[in-house]
């Protein structure tokens, strides 16, 4: 089992640096974040790369679908200049780059499995290979894709995997058990006190995204939420330096 920190940096410190880049992860570490959240998908040649969108336009100077581009082409793109000239030349990282960086920074990760047009089973297989080769760090996997959650549970039965949701289904208990998930990750805007109480009473770790207001984070922790994912870890950690539950939460 692993302990989840109460604050996780969304795509790194994405309010200060270009999301899903090594620079954003380093800034998050400098702001005292213990974990980052990031998105992993496959290139055309089945290499694990970190990027959120299905397409390249928003966060790079490239165009088109990520899963149609080989790693060699993706690595030529600029993934930082869109954010600031300071980050001009920042590259799309591989999962291997990221895991190595986090190891040396003594950080963990919530790694979102994001098929983005590629085969979710193949993505899970490649992620499992990368994790098997990498130096060990705390990892919590997660995905919106039920196929991916089930495949990760099959490939890596000892590694926790959260079920990502935009809203909570009425029959969430049955599907959660069927998937064999280790936590629920949900949009905080879809959550109310009663829903949170139901999940917490079932001893299910509850992770909420994406919260940038400390007052809202305080409210969520008051409901028993395990962890909040934020674009602004510096602000959130300054406002809430320690987990409201001193015993912490494990998955």
* Residue percentage of the chain with pLDDT more than 90: 95
- As a whole number, mean pLDDT of residues 216-231 equals 97
CATH homologous superfamily for 3-42+96-242?
Phosphatidylinositol (PI) phosphodiesterase (3.20.20.190)
In degrees and rounded to multiples of 5, residue 42 shows phi and psi of -115, 145
pLDDT in tens, 5-48: 999 999 999 999 999 999 999 999 999 999 999 999 999 999 99
| Predicted pLDDT at 87 | 98
Distance (Å, rounded) from C-alpha 56 to C-alpha 64? Answer: 6
* Statement: residue 137 has pLDDT above 90: yes
Residue 119: its pLDDT value, please?
Answer: 96
Q: Are 214 and 237 in contact (CB under 8 A)?
A: no
Kindly tell me if the per-residue pLDDT of 140 is higher than 90: yes
State the pLDDT at residue 249: 75
Residue 158 — pLDDT band, cuts 50, 70, 90?
very high
Tokens linked to 251: 């998955």
Six-digit token pair at 231?
A: 């674009």
Task: Using the predicted structure, report yes or no on whether residue 251 has a pLDDT greater than 90.
Answer: no
pLDDT recorded at residue 250: 82
Q: Name the token pair of 132.
A: 């098997």
- Over 70: is that where the pLDDT of 187 sits? yes
Please enumerate in sequence order all residues whose Cβ is within 8 A of that of 52, keeping only pairs 6 or more positions apart, or say none. 11, 19, 20, 39, 59, 114
CA distance 132 to 99: 11
**What are the tens digits of pLDDT across the range 86-125?**
999 999 999 999 999 999 999 999 999 999 999 999 999 9
* Percentage, residues of the chain above pLDDT 70: 99
Show me where the domains of the chain are located.
3-42+96-242
- The residues assigned a catalytic role are 10, 52
Q: What is the pLDDT of residue 188?
A: 98
User: What integer best gives the mean pLDDT of the chain?
Assistant: 96
Provide the pLDDT for residue 1: 81
13-17, 40-44, 204-208, 240-244: lowest mean pLDDT where? 240-244
């Amino acid at each position: 089992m692993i302990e989840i920190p109460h604050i996780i940096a969304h795509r790194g410190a994405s309010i200060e640096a270009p999301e899903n880049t090594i620079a954003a992860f380093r800034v998050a570490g400098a702001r005292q974040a213990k974990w980052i959240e990031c998105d992993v998908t496959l290139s055309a040649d089945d290499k694990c790369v970190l990027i959120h969108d299905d397409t390249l336009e928003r966060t790079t100077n490239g165009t088109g679908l990520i899963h149609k581009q080989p790693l060699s082409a993706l690595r030529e793109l600029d993934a930082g200049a869109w954010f600031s000239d300071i980050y001009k030349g920042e590259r799309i990282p591989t999962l291997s780059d990221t895991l190595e960086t986090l190891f040396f920074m003594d950080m963990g990760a919530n790694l979102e499995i994001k098929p983005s047009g590629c085969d979710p089973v193949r993505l899970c297989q490649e992620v499992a290979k990368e994790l098997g080769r990498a130096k060990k760090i705390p990892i919590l996997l997660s995905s919106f894709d039920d196929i991916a959650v089930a495949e990760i549970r099959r490939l890596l039965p000892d590694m926790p995997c959260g079920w990502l949701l935009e809203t909570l289904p009425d029959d969430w208990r049955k599907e959660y058990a069927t998937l064999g998930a280790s936590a629920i990750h949900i949009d905080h805007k879809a959550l109310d006190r009663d829903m949170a109480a139901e999940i917490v009473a079932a001893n299910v770790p509850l992770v909420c995204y994406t919260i940038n207001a400390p007052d809202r984070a305080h409210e969520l922790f008051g409901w028993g939420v395990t962890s909040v994912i934020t674009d602004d870890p510096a602000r959130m950690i300054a406002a809430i330096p320690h987990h409201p539950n001193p015993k912490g939460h494990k998955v």
